[in-house]
Structure 1
Amino acid sequence: MKKIFLYVFILLYFTQCSSVKKHNAHLKALIPIDELKADVDFTYKKLQKLHPQLYWYISKEELDYKFDSLKSTIREPITPLEFYKKLSPIVAAVRQGHSYLYPASMQMTKKETKALIKKGTGPFSQFDFDFFDNKLYVVNNKSYDKSIKAGSEVIAVNGIKPLALIEEYNNYYSSDGYNTTLKTRTSGKRFSSYFTVENGIKDSLTYTLKFNDSIQLITITRYKDDSIKKKELKTQKGITALDRAKSRTFRRKKRVNGYNADSKNYNRNLDFMEKDSSIAIMKIRSFNKGDFRPFYKESFRKIENYKSNTLILDLRDNGGGRLNEIVDLYSYLVDSTFVFLEKSEVVSKSSLMEGAYFNGGSFGLKILKTIYAPLLYSYLLLTVHKDDTGKSWYATHTRPHKVHTNPFKGKIYVLINGGSFSASSLISSNLKSSKRVTFVGEETGGAFNGTVAGFMPVIKLPNSKLNIRIGLMVMTPHHKTEIKGHGIFPDKEISTSLEDRLKENDPQLNWILNDLKTNKKN
């Protein structure tokens, strides 16, 4: 038996190595003209076959023209990355943030990845960057070189100017609709990814930095902090029963709140501002990590016990996540029985079968899926229906939901910005209808009237081997606006400046606290 496992392990290892080697060799290959044009046609046909609202923000005639024009510009063989730069702006023109083309990038084997991690933190990960007024800044220095000051402008990295790269790659993806806040808010975080796509993973980078009119050239290399490991070994000695109890509590918190190992913070947090706990702050970084039901159950019980009369729900930079979670959270924030979503438009039953169910997975998994396919298709027969116009609809969270047994009945403030996307925009759309809720911050990156997401298969183009992700379901909130193609606008618009970020000042939260004090006086 051990020999069989060893044989399987060796086979899988060499298969992966061969696959990675083949993929990386393909990145340098020139793809023939006819194959590139075939991939253009393949992309459009897949979008038409799977995407239920392809022409929400662009007319069919305009999109037809863009795809036809693209083929006319392909006059010579090019690499997958060069093809990505031609095709991705056309996909982005659909203006659906969940549907986009992935760039061609190098892959590593598990052995190579493990060796890289062992070498330590990379030269990009040693800094936090943010983008203000078309300039990239270091807002947090986590590197071994403490001479680099937070607030230093990044003039160049290995001679490459950040603005040029950011402006180029902003053409390759979109938000939902016409808003610009998503790109403004996320460009600083995306810069390192853009650089890596173009130049690969580097063990050292030379930064050209500017601080108070002084320019310096600094090389940052990959860095391994051994003090962390020594600290962990030290804490393992002399463990008591109390230590074990604390460890169990800590492990549960990590599971329920959702612990982010990279950023060393929790996905969900509940804190109280005042000594009398009258103001509760719930920070949700995303809706896709952790055991959310016990978190909300325990949090709202605590809010009730503390008699908090104000809840600040912080959804800034929340990129979305699970639909079940936002429906559960919403049930604590409403006054009566509610419907969360309208029926979801889909292209057809087959679009869910072909696009989501049969797409991806190993050969063995596909065989297993084929066996269970009749059961799924029977389910789709019951849940996907055509109306009189010939459109197909899939019902999810369209039935009336009950309010939770201990809902919050006080004043609610919701913090939003351009990084609030997808699920965080859906819950914000429905909360916007409540007179108890005030929104503070910036327009959300996700659209008010919904998005095309749900099932989102990743499909490989046959010749370039690029991957495209396509949303299959129109997710429409119950409450909508007449303004087309924009996000949820705040009742009080406040942006964060570079100075705010450096001083850890929160102007949006400060405005809410001042508003509460003013209302209390009045």
Structure 2
Amino acid sequence: MRKIILYVFTLLFFSQCSSVKKHNRHLTELIPIAQLKSDVDFTYKKLQKLHPNLYWYISKPVLDSKFDSLKSTITQPIAPLAFYKKLSPVVAAVRQGHTYVYPASPQMTKKETKALIKKGTGPFSQFDFDYFDNKLYVVNNKSYNKSIKPGAEVIAVNDVKPMDLIREYNNYYSSDGYNSTLKTSKSGKRFSSYFTAEKGIKDSLIYTLKYNDSIQQITIRRYKEDSIKKKEQKTKKIVTATDRVKSRELRRKKRVNGYNADSKNYNRNLHFLEKDSSVAIMKIRSFSKGNFRPFYKESFREIDNYKSNTLILDLRDNGGGRLSEIVDLYSYLSDSTFVFLDKSEVVSKSSLMRAAYFNGGSLGLKILKAIYAPIIYSYLLLTVHKASDGKNYYATHTRPHRVKDLAFKGKIYVLINGGSFSASSLISANLKSSKRVTFIGEETGGAFNGTVSGFMPVLELPHSELKIRIGLMAMVPSNKTEIIGRGIFPDKEITPTLEDKLKGNDPELNWILNNSKASIDLLSKEK
């Protein structure tokens, strides 16, 4: 038995190595013209077959013309990355942020990945970058070279000008609709991935930096902290009952709040600013990681116990997540019984079954899916119906929901920016209908009137082996606006500056605190 297990393990290991080598070799190969055009047709056919609202922001004749024009520009064999740069702008023209083409990029085996991690932190990961006024800045220096000051402008990296790369790659993806705040919010954080797509992973980089009119070139190498510590006498730590209780509490907090080991922070947080706890702040980084139901139940019980009259919901840079979570959160914020979504348009039952359910996974998982397929298909038969308009709709969260007993009744402020996308825009759209809610910050990156997301299979193009992700459900909030293709606009627009970032200022939060304090003082005087 041991020999059999060893044989299977060896087979899988060499199979993975062979697959990775084949993929990486393909990245440098020129793809014949006929195969490239075939992949263009494949992409458009999949979009038409799976995307329920393909012509939301672009007409069919215009999109037809774009795909035809694309094929006419393919006059010679090209490599996958060059093909990505031709294909992705056409897909981005659909203006649906969840639907995009992935750039061609090298892969590594598990062994190579482990070896790279062992070598230490890469030269990009030693800094945090951000984008202000069409320039890239270092906003946090985590490198071994402490001479680099936060606020230094990045003029070039290995002679590559950041703005050239950012402007180019901004053509390869889209927000939902016509807003520009998503790209402004994401450009600085995505620069390193753009560079890596072009140049690969590097162990050292030459940064050209500008600070106070002084320009310098600094080489940053992959860095590993010295893990060798002085040997100390090993002593057994006595674990007390209190230690065990604290350990259990910490493990539970990580499960409920959603702990992110990479950034070393929690996905959900609640704290109170005022001494009398009149102002509660709930920061939600995404609607994904963690067991959300106990968090919201316990948080709103605490808010109720403290009799807080102001709640600040911070959704800045919240890229979305689970629909079930935002509906649960909304049930603590709504004024009355509510319907969260209209019925979600889908192309067909089979688009959900074939493209989403059976897409991806290992051989074992596919076998398991096949076993449960009759149950899933029966569920889709009950939930997907053709309406009088001839379209198919998937009913999810379309029934009336009751508000929770602990629902908050006071004043609500919502912090938003261009990084507020997908699910965070859906809940913001519904909150916009309440007179108790005031929005502060920037226009959201997600559209007010909904998005095409839900199930989002990733499909591989046959010849170029590029991958495309396609949203399958048009999810529309019950509250809508007449302004087509734009996000949720703030009631008070505030855009942080580079100086705010460097000094740790939070102008949006400060405005709310000053405003809410003035309101409280005014009420007390009236009494």
Q: CA deviation at 1:368?
A: 3.0
Deviations 1:474-510 (A, max 9, x none): 0100100000000000000000100000000000001
Deviations 1:165-223 (A, max 9, x none): 00000000000000000000110000000000001111111100000001111111111
The separation in 2 between residues aligned to 1:258 and 1:330, in whole angstroms, is: 19
Partner of 1:97: 97
The separation in 2 between residues aligned to 1:76 and 1:63, in whole angstroms, is: 23
Partner of 1:423: 423
The separation in 1 between residues aligned to 2:381 and 2:27, in whole angstroms, is: 42
The separation in 1 between residues aligned to 2:230 and 2:273, in whole angstroms, is: 36
Cα distance change, pair 373–230 in 1 and its aligned pair in 2 (3 A): farther
Cα distance change, pair 2–236 in 1 and its aligned pair in 2 (3 A): farther
Give the residue type in structure 1 aligned to 2:12.
L
Partner of 2:174: 174
Give the 5 Å matches for 1:17-416: 17-226=17-226, 237-416=237-416
The separation in 1 between residues aligned to 2:228 and 2:314, in whole angstroms, is: 31
The separation in 2 between residues aligned to 1:232 and 1:139, in whole angstroms, is: 38
Q: CA deviation at 1:334?
A: 1.1
Q: CA deviation at 1:238?
A: 4.9
The separation in 2 between residues aligned to 1:232 and 1:311, in whole angstroms, is: 49
Cα distance change, pair 137–231 in 1 and its aligned pair in 2 (3 A): farther
Q: CA deviation at 1:229?
A: 8.3
Q: CA deviation at 1:390?
A: 1.2
Aligned to 2:321, the other structure's residue is in SS state coil
The separation in 2 between residues aligned to 1:234 and 1:224, in whole angstroms, is: 26
Deviations 1:118-159 (A, max 9, x none): 111111111100000110000001111111000000000011
Of residues 358-367 and 333-342 in structure 1, the stretch that sits farther from structure 2 once superposed is 358-367
Partner of 1:476: 476
Q: CA deviation at 1:235?
A: 11
The separation in 2 between residues aligned to 1:228 and 1:309, in whole angstroms, is: 52
Contact 2:335–2:434 (8 Å) recurs in 1 = no
Q: CA deviation at 1:317?
A: 0.2
Compute the RMSD of aligned alpha carbons.
1.7
TM-score, normalising length from structure 2? 0.97
The separation in 2 between residues aligned to 1:158 and 1:49, in whole angstroms, is: 43
Aligned to 2:76, the other structure's residue is in SS state coil
The separation in 2 between residues aligned to 1:43 and 1:323, in whole angstroms, is: 28
Partner of 1:454: 454
1:500 aligns with 2:513: no
Contact 2:258–2:289 (8 Å) recurs in 1 = yes
Deviations 1:75-98 (A, max 9, x none): 000000000000000000000000
Give the residue type in structure 1 aligned to 2:109.
T
- Segments ≥4 residues shifted beyond 6 Å: 228-236
Of residues 362-371 and 459-468 in structure 1, the stretch that sits farther from structure 2 once superposed is 362-371
The separation in 2 between residues aligned to 1:231 and 1:84, in whole angstroms, is: 53
The separation in 2 between residues aligned to 1:56 and 1:228, in whole angstroms, is: 59
Cα distance change, pair 29–230 in 1 and its aligned pair in 2 (3 A): farther
Cα distance change, pair 79–236 in 1 and its aligned pair in 2 (3 A): farther
Give the residue type in structure 1 aligned to 2:209.
L
Which runs of no fewer than 5 residues in structure 2 stay unpaired? 523-527
Aligned to 2:271, the other structure's residue is in SS state strand
Q: CA deviation at 1:2?
A: 2.4
Partner of 1:433: 433
Of residues 227-236 and 474-483 in structure 1, the stretch that sits farther from structure 2 once superposed is 227-236
The separation in 1 between residues aligned to 2:207 and 2:105, in whole angstroms, is: 23
Give the residue type in structure 2 aligned to 1:26.
H
Cα distance change, pair 376–57 in 1 and its aligned pair in 2 (3 A): same
Partner of 2:525: none
Deviations 1:393-425 (A, max 9, x none): 000000111111211111000000000000000
Q: CA deviation at 1:316?
A: 0.1
Aligned to 1:207, the other structure's residue is in SS state strand
Give the residue type in structure 1 aligned to 2:185.
R
Give the residue type in structure 2 aligned to 1:278.
S
Of residues 164-173 and 224-233 in structure 1, the stretch that sits farther from structure 2 once superposed is 224-233
1:14 aligns with 2:7: no
Give the residue type in structure 1 aligned to 2:5.
F
Aligned to 1:28, the other structure's residue is in SS state coil
Cα distance change, pair 516–78 in 1 and its aligned pair in 2 (3 A): same
Q: CA deviation at 1:103?
A: 0.3
Q: How many residues align?
A: 522
Give the residue type in structure 2 aligned to 1:174.
S
Which runs of no fewer than 5 residues in structure 1 stay unpaired? none
The separation in 2 between residues aligned to 1:165 and 1:267, in whole angstroms, is: 31
The separation in 1 between residues aligned to 2:160 and 2:234, in whole angstroms, is: 43
Aligned to 1:81, the other structure's residue is in SS state helix
Q: CA deviation at 1:520?
A: 2.2
Give the residue type in structure 1 aligned to 2:330.
Y
The separation in 2 between residues aligned to 1:486 and 1:219, in whole angstroms, is: 42
The separation in 2 between residues aligned to 1:482 and 1:180, in whole angstroms, is: 19
Give the residue type in structure 2 aligned to 1:277.
S
The separation in 2 between residues aligned to 1:231 and 1:468, in whole angstroms, is: 52
Percent identity over paired residues: 80
The separation in 1 between residues aligned to 2:307 and 2:228, in whole angstroms, is: 41
Aligned to 1:244, the other structure's residue is in SS state helix
Cα distance change, pair 337–111 in 1 and its aligned pair in 2 (3 A): same
Give the residue type in structure 2 aligned to 1:150.
P
Q: CA deviation at 1:385?
A: 0.6
Give the residue type in structure 1 aligned to 2:194.
Y
The separation in 2 between residues aligned to 1:502 and 1:290, in whole angstroms, is: 30
Aligned to 2:27, the other structure's residue is in SS state helix
The separation in 1 between residues aligned to 2:32 and 2:229, in whole angstroms, is: 51
Aligned to 2:474, the other structure's residue is in SS state strand
